[in-house]
A and B are shown apart, each in its own frame.
Chain A
Amino acid sequence: MWSEQEQKELDEILKKYPADRKMSAVLPALYLAQREKNWLDDADIAAVAEALDISVTHVHSIIGFYTLFRKEKSGKYMVQICTDLPCALRGAEAFFDRLCQRMGLGPDGGTTEDGLFTVEPVVCLAACDKAPMGQINLEYYENLTDEQIDEVIASLREAEKQ
């Protein structure tokens, strides 16, 4: 399952922790396994368990607990907008609603028909002074206007065509 490059990175990750504490690497290993297609299938989960000498059940419990791992296919790009109180005080909820409308999604977000984008509200991202803000696959976009986020999405869509 691991590509040569991924195996190399995994070996580097494991060096950070004591040799008898490989389980410590479960979060970084899951990030690595999730990187290519943005979600985790059974093979990915089994590979993480095997690499770290832990049970598949334990890996499932970790994926269930931490919100940044996904067991269902999602859009290639996760567009996550913070709508917690500090951002909401600066218009983040209305910003999110308008974005969903323009993307042709329901009020809670969802995945676009082409499967490229999943739009969802998220809790605090520690950038409350730069609302409205959000992240696309963990890259931050801040002080957003409708026009700016549309441009980002259009450019990602354009890049996918090539």
Chain B
Amino acid sequence: MGNELLSQYVLFRHRDVDNIRDIEVYLAHDGYEALKKAINGMQPDEVTAEVKKSGLRGRGGAGFPAGVKWGFIPKDITPKYVVVNGDESEPGTFKDREIMESNPHQFIEGVALTAYAIGAETAYIYGRGEFLGVFRGLQQAIDQAYDKGFLGQNILGSDFSLDIYLHLGAGAYICGEETALLNSLEGLMGQPRNRPPFPAVKGLYDKPTVINNVETLTNVPPIVLHGAEWYRQFGTEKSPGTKIFCLSGRVNKPGNYELPLGTPIRYLIEECGGGIIDGKAVKGILPAGASSTIMGGDKIDTDMDYESMVAAGGMLGSASFIILDETIDAVWAAEKNIKFFKHESCGKCSPCREGTFWLAGVYRKISEGRGTAEDVELLETIIGQMEGNCFCLLGEFVVPGVRSSLQLFKDEYQALVD
């Protein structure tokens, strides 16, 4: 059961229990017990308090404490909404999909508990358009939950009612930004909104809204069922719990690995990922997908928790580890990500729209051997002009990848422009 570092899976329970995607199997393994416990014996505020105590932090990338976020919801305004961010579009990230495909009921139960905690009667799960097949399976699981009385009117004979609806996006990375997601759900272009007001106060249809990532909410049933203390046996003091690490790139066994927060990167790459293809050396680590600061191979012994990653000059983000080995051209890799951001810039603000356009042009010039030393400096200038000036974080995400690439692999840029 579990893996070497985990006595049992907290999120990927399908790896311990065959076919847990079926509601009967889920029910035989504590399924919906947390929801029963909450509805029958806990006030909504007690659920929020337990999640606060657990220290669960948002798994979408920002790492904001989930219970604190729920606490911002005003009590006197109705209706309230739960919106789940399943947009999962960051290159290198593929964890929410596995949860929704293989352990859907734990996720659905987490959505229901969240709705109970904040007093919402409607939840929308927003998934990227390409998750058509994933959502087909998820809808079946939701239908099963309705049939058993865990969703719908007067759940388990209580006053609590909840409907969960699925909503597919249509191919826009920006919709993973929570206010852009809300606009998309309202039928607008997926462009971010001004903050304040924050979604907790004015979110979907201008009503109080909690937005959390799929993985975040999948943590909630075990926290409610077993308690915050139990949950805190995993992970570190400031980064409690387990996390799904998405490992991709030049490793022998790419895939999703659930590990306690605080596990060293080396363990992920060597023990889980079976090391680097052909035994090559690690050249760079992108710990948070395309929007990462690139960490050098010398940072391989950093612990993967929110604080240690920042202290080492990186970030944990959504924990999407893309591994570059010594055979990879660093300028090519940086250019790849810039092309992605140029394609996905929503166009609302000029620092991001123009910045990614110019970065892509200059990178192309350099990689085609037409660049000069001034062009390398121009890359610095462009990211300097973007930094702190983009309307939303997704524009800001472009900066650290370019900056760290220029710092770590200066020689390679130099060689191309000499």
A residues whose Cβ falls under 8 Å from a Cβ of B: 16, 18, 21-28, 30-31, 52, 54, 61-62, 65-69, 84-86, 88-90, 123-131, 135, 138-140
A66 and B169 within 8 A (CB): yes
Binary interface profile of B, 59-94, with partner A (CB < 8 Å = 1, else 0)? 000000000000000000000000000001111111
- Size category of the binding interface on chain B: 35 or more
Contact A21 B340 (CB under 8 A): no
Contact yes or no, A24 B256, CB < 8 A: no
Closest-by-CB residue of A relative to B166 is A16
Q: Verify A126–B93 contact, CB threshold 8 A.
A: yes
Q: Which residues of A contact B128 (CB under 8 A)?
A: 126
Q: Mark B333-350, 1 if CB is under 8 A from A, else 0.
A: 100110010011010000
Contact A123 B322 (CB under 8 A): no
Complex contacts, A31 vs chain B, CB 8 Å: 129, 168, 170
CA distance A126 to B13 in the complex (A): 21
Is residue B279 contacting chain A, with contact meaning CB distance below 8 A?
no
Cβ–Cβ < 8 Å partners of B96 in chain A: 126
Residues in A with CB closer than 8 Å to B111 are none
Chain A residues contacting B310 (CB-CB under 8 Å) are: none
- Residues in A with CB closer than 8 Å to B105 are none
Number of A-B contacts (CB under 8 A): 142
Contacts of A52 in B (CB 8 A): 187
Determine whether the beta carbon of A68 is less than 8 Å from that of B129.
Answer: yes
- B304 located at the interface, meaning its Cβ lies under 8 Å from any Cβ of chain A in the complex: no
Whether B167 is near chain A, meaning CB under 8 Å from some CB there, is yes
Q: Inside 8 A of B400's CB, which chain A residues have their CB?
A: none
Are A54 and B132 in contact (CB-based, < 8 A)? no
The 7 listed contacts between A and B (C-beta, < 8 Å) are A27-B168, A28-B167, A52-B187, A69-B170, A126-B130, A128-B322, A131-B254
Which of A27, A84, A128 has the largest number of chain B CB atoms within 10 A?
Answer: A128
A124 near B90 (CB under 8 angstroms)? yes
A128 touches B187 (CB 8 A): no
**Which residues does chain A contribute within 8 Å of B324, judged by CB atoms?**
89
B133 contacts A139, C-beta separation under 8 Å: yes
CB distance from B131 to the nearest CB of A (A): 8
CB distance from A131 to the nearest CB of B (A): 8
Instruction: Judge whether A27 and B249 touch: CB under 8 Å.
Output: no
B170 touches A138 (CB 8 A): no
Q: Enumerate chain B residues within 8 angstroms of A24, measured Cβ to Cβ.
A: 167, 185-187
CB interface residues, B 158-173, toward A, < 8 Å: 165, 167-173
Give Cα A61–Cα B169 distance, bound, in whole angstroms. 15
B6 CB–A CB distance under 8 Å? no
Contact of B171 among A21, A26, A67, A88 (CB under 8 A): A67
Nearest A residue to B322 by beta-carbon distance? A86
Which residue of A is nearest B172, CB measured?
A66
Task: Point out the residues of chain A lying under 8 angstroms from B133, CB to CB.
Answer: 138-140
CA distance A131 to B249 in the complex (A): 9
B242 contact set on A, CB distance < 8 A: none
Taking the closest CB of chain A, its distance from the CB of B56, in whole angstroms, is: 23
A93 CA to B169 CA in the complex, in Å?
Answer: 26
Bound-state CA distance A127–B320 (Å) is 12
Q: Are A128 and B205 in contact (CB under 8 A)?
A: no
Report Cα–Cα, A88/B132, bound state, in Å: 24
CB neighbours (8 Å) of B286 from chain A are 85
Residues from chain A with a CB closer than 8 A to the CB of B336 are: 84-85, 88
Contact indicator B172/A62 (Cβ below 8 Å): no
In the complex, chain B residues whose CB is within 8 Å of the CB of A27 = 129, 167-170, 184, 187
What chain A residues lie within 8 Å of B189 (beta carbons)? 61-62, 65
Shortest Cβ gap from A10 to chain B (Å):
14
- Taking CB atoms, residues of chain A closer than 8 Å to B188 are 23, 62
Chain B residue at minimal CB-CB distance from A93: B336
Instruction: Decide if B288 is an interface residue (CB 8 Å cutoff).
Output: no
Whether a CB of chain A sits under 8 angstroms from the CB of B290 is: yes
Inter-chain CA distance A102–B133, complex, in Å, is 28
> In the complex, are the beta carbons of B290 and A26 less than 8 A apart?
no
Question: Which B residues are in CB contact (< 8 Å) with A68?
Answer: 129-130, 170-171
Tell me, in angstroms, the Cα distance from A69 to B168 when the chains sit together: 13
How far does the alpha carbon of A23 sit from the alpha carbon of B333 in the complex, in Å? 40
Chain A CB count within 10 A is highest, among B91, B96, B189, for B91
Question: Is B186 within 8 A of A23, CB to CB?
Answer: yes
Among B91, B186, B248, B320, contact of A123 (Cβ-Cβ < 8 Å):
B91
> Is the pair A123, B173 in contact by a Cβ cutoff of 8 Å?
yes
A55 to B247, CA, bound (A): 44
- Report whether B167 and A89 are in contact in the complex, using a CB–CB cutoff of 8 Å: no
Answer whether residue B57 sits at the interface, using C-beta atoms and an 8 A cutoff: no
Q: For chain B, residues 242 to 257, give those with C-beta under 8 angstroms from any C-beta of chain A.
A: 246-250, 254-256
Chain A's nearest CB lies how many Å from the CB of B339? Answer: 8
Evaluate contact between B170 and A30: CB separation under 8 angstroms: yes
B193 cross-chain contacts in A, Cβ below 8 A = none
Q: Is B328 among interface residues, defined by CB-CB distance under 8 A?
A: yes
Are A138 and B254 in touch, CB under 8 angstroms? no
Which of A28, A52, A65 has the largest count of B CB atoms less than 10 A from its CB? A65
The answer to whether the Cβ of B190 comes within 8 Å of any Cβ in the partner chain is yes
